[in-house]
A and B are shown apart, each in its own frame.
Chain A
Amino acid sequence: MYIPHTPSERDEMLRVVGKSSLEDLFSNIPEKFRFPDLDLPEAVTEMEVEEQFSDLANANFACDELVCFLGAGVYDHYVPAAVDMLLRRGDFFTAYTPYQPEISQGTLQGIFEFQSLIANLTGMDVSNASHYDGATAAGEACLSAYHHFRGKRPRIILSGAVHPHYRETIHTYLCGFEDIEIIEAGMAEDPAYPQRLADMVDDQTALILVQYPDFLGRVFNFSELGQVAHEHGALMAVSANPISLGLLTPPSEFGADFVVGEGQPLGIPMNFGGPYLGFFATRDELIRKISGRLVGETVDSQEKRGYVLTLTAREQHIRREKATSNICTNQGLMALAATIYLSLLGKGGLRELAELCYHKSHYAAQQINQIPGYQVDSKHVFFNEFVVNCPNDPLQINEFLLNEGVLGGLPLGEYYPELKTQMLIAVTEKNSRESIDLLCELLKEAAND
Chain B
Amino acid sequence: MKTPENLKYAKTDEWVKLDGNVATIGISDYAQDQLSDIVFVEYNKDPGDTVIKDDTLATIESVKAAGDVNSPVSGKVIEVNEKLVDNPEFLNDDPYEKAWMLKVEISDMAEVEQLMSSDDYKKYCQERE
Contact = CB atoms under 8 A, between A and B. Distances in A.
A3 interface: no
A322 B62 CA distance: 14
B12 interface: no
B125 interface: no
B44 A318 contact: no
Contacts of A314: 61, 66
A318 B42 CA distance: 17
B64 interface: yes
Interface of B is mostly: strand
A313 B64 contact: yes
A311 B63 CA distance: 8
A313 B62 CA distance: 8
A313 B64 CA distance: 6
A150 B46 CA distance: 11
Interface string B85-125: 00000000000000000000000000000000000000000
A322 B68 CA distance: 10
B44 A322 contact: no
A322 B59 CA distance: 9
A150 B66 CA distance: 17
Interface residues of A, number: 7
A288 interface: yes
Interface in A302-329: 313-314, 318-319, 322
Contacts of B64: 313
Contact of B65 (A150, A288, A313): A313
B84 to A, nearest CB: 14
A322 B40 CA distance: 13
Nearest to B62: A313
Interface residues of B, number: 10
Contact of A319 (B40, B44, B66): B66
Interface in A277-317: 288, 313-314
Given A318-B66, A319-B66, A322-B66, A313 B44 contact: no
Interface in B1-48: 40, 42, 44
A318 B59 contact: no
A318 B44 CA distance: 19
Contact of A288 (B42, B62, B63): B42
Q: Which of A288, A313, A318, A322 has the largest count of B CB atoms less than 10 A from its CB?
A: A313
A281 to B, nearest CB: 20
Nearest to B46: A152
Interface string A128-168: 00000000000000000000001000000000000000000
B66 to A, nearest CB: 4
**Max chain A C-beta neighbours (<10 A), residue from B42, B62, B65, B66:** B66
Contacts of A318: 65-66
Nearest to B49: A152
Contacts of B63: 313
Nearest to B43: A150
Interface string B50-68: 0000000001011111100
B44 to A, nearest CB: 6
Interface string A21-36: 0000000000000000
Given A313-B62, A314-B61, A322-B66, 4 more contacts: A288-B42, A313-B65, A314-B66, A318-B66
Interface of A: 150, 288, 313-314, 318-319, 322
13 contacts: A150-B44, A288-B40, A288-B42, A288-B61, A313-B61, A313-B62, A313-B63, A313-B65, A314-B66, A318-B66, A319-B66, A322-B59, A322-B66
